[in-house]
Amino acid sequence: MPTITTPDGVKIFYKDWGSGQPIVFSHGWPLSADDWDAQMTFFLQHGYRVIAHDRRGHGRSDQVGTGNDMDHWVADLAALTEHLGLRDAIHIGHSTGGGEVARYVARHQERVAKAVLVASLTPNMVKTDANPAGQPQEFFDGVRAGMLGNRSEFYRAVPEGPFYGFNRPGAKPSEPVIANWWRQGMAGSAQAHYETVSSWLEDYTEDLKKITVPVLVMHGEDDQIVPFASAVPRAVNLLTNGKLKTYPGFPHGMLTTHADVLNPDLLAFIKS
């Protein structure tokens, strides 16, 4: 398996397919590079070089006991892009990966052509007086409790319910999609996944303010994980060159459930 070793000795697994302008994908919690299959194969067929890695503590990367935080994840991504010699790259991040992309682009803008934040937690997702549509503290406590309890059962409940919107009236749950989410989650480190919740409590306002390259913000209006009103309008307003694309009724995991809609929209933005 292709890996790089970070300066602090962590092996990071990555996929690197094709040639052409590079598109780099950063996955969400508690998943892996495999969550980008529908996008990587699509863009590969359209002549792009596609790269995705497993964040430390996730998937096939080392399950270390340290560095499970946003600054280390961004440093790991920077080590990967430097190793591969990537320039003029498109960076696409989903959910927690959106925070990773925002901070990476803010710190390494000279390597980046454009960025996309999909169902991203940026600028923040915590309910406060300034962000009344955010998630209450009970949401974060509940995720942590789920992982400290029966993680396997919890990793069924999340995709069966809010992640893909399968808990909505009239929804048609997909067992293969649910099983694939569970498979990816259980391959990762329980410690890393637990500690990831701290990154959801961070504020990414200053990262967004530093970004000057074009950024597309894509968000489903029925996102039950990162509520639409919590993140989207403020993220676009903080960006120098931000563009908003919203999707009525689409869930947090819309890159999987509605890849046929999102992939062409992503392609159009990249080509614009």
Question: Rounded distance, CA 187 to CA 182, Å?
Answer: 9
- Return the bridge partners of 25, or none: 52, 92
Q: Residue written as tokens 């699509």?
A: 42
CB atoms within 10 A of CB 135: 22
3-state secondary structure of 158: helix
Catalytic residue among 95, 189, 199, 230: 95
Measured between alpha carbons, how far is 98 from 236 in angstroms, rounded to an integer? 13
Pairing, β 22-26 against β 49-53? parallel
E strand map for 18-168: 22-26, 49-53, 89-94, 112-118
The question of whether 69 is a catalytic residue gets the answer no
How many Cα atoms are found within 13 Å in the side-chain-facing hemisphere of 168?
Answer: 14
Cα gap 231→137, rounded to integer Å: 16
Count, residues in the chain: 272
Count the Cβ atoms, other than its own, within 10 Å of residue 207: 22
46 is catalytic: no
How do beta strands 11-17 and 49-53 pair? antiparallel
Contacts of 160 (CB under 8 A, 6+ apart): 166, 167, 173, 178
To the query of whether residue 193 is one of the catalytic residues in this protein, the response is no
Catalytic residue among 34, 35, 54, 223: 223
**Active-site positions?**
95, 223, 252
